Amino acid sequence: MEAALFHDFDNVTSYYGNIPSHPMQSDEHVELYRMRESDRDPMDEDFTAPVNRVCGTTLGYGDVDFFDPRQCRLLAAWLEARLTQPITPRLAEIYRHLLDYARRATQYNTGIVIEL
């Protein structure tokens, strides 16, 4: 489970559909945030369906999807609102990280890949 923030697409050599490939380690082009395997169920329960509705994505359990700049703006708004509600400390930590990535992807005009 991870999220990848693209600083640019200069080092992308292939795509799977609209999903850009990224290296296994962070580098000057991509920043990786790894989540724990134990985060999968809570993320699927709290994140997947509402984010797919808001962002028009198809992320699912054990799946991966790419959020373009427009979707990152929508994701950031959802995360900001969700962080004002009761939430577990671990999900709050993940959501703050994803919020940072979504904001920066919008600024960079790139996107993020999220893998559950």
pLDDT the model gives residue 86: 97
Tell me, yes or no, if the pTM score tops 0.75: yes
The number of residues in the chain equals 116
For residue 5, pLDDT over 90 is answered with: yes
For residue 23, pLDDT over 90 is answered with: no
Rounded distance between C-alpha atoms, residue 110 and residue 15, angstroms:
14
Please report how the helices 69-82 and 89-108 are oriented relative to each other, as an axis angle in degrees rounded to 10.
150
Rounded distance between C-alpha atoms, residue 104 and residue 10, angstroms:
17
Distance set, CA 45 to CA 26, 49, 93, 106, 112 (Å): 28, 8, 16, 26, 21
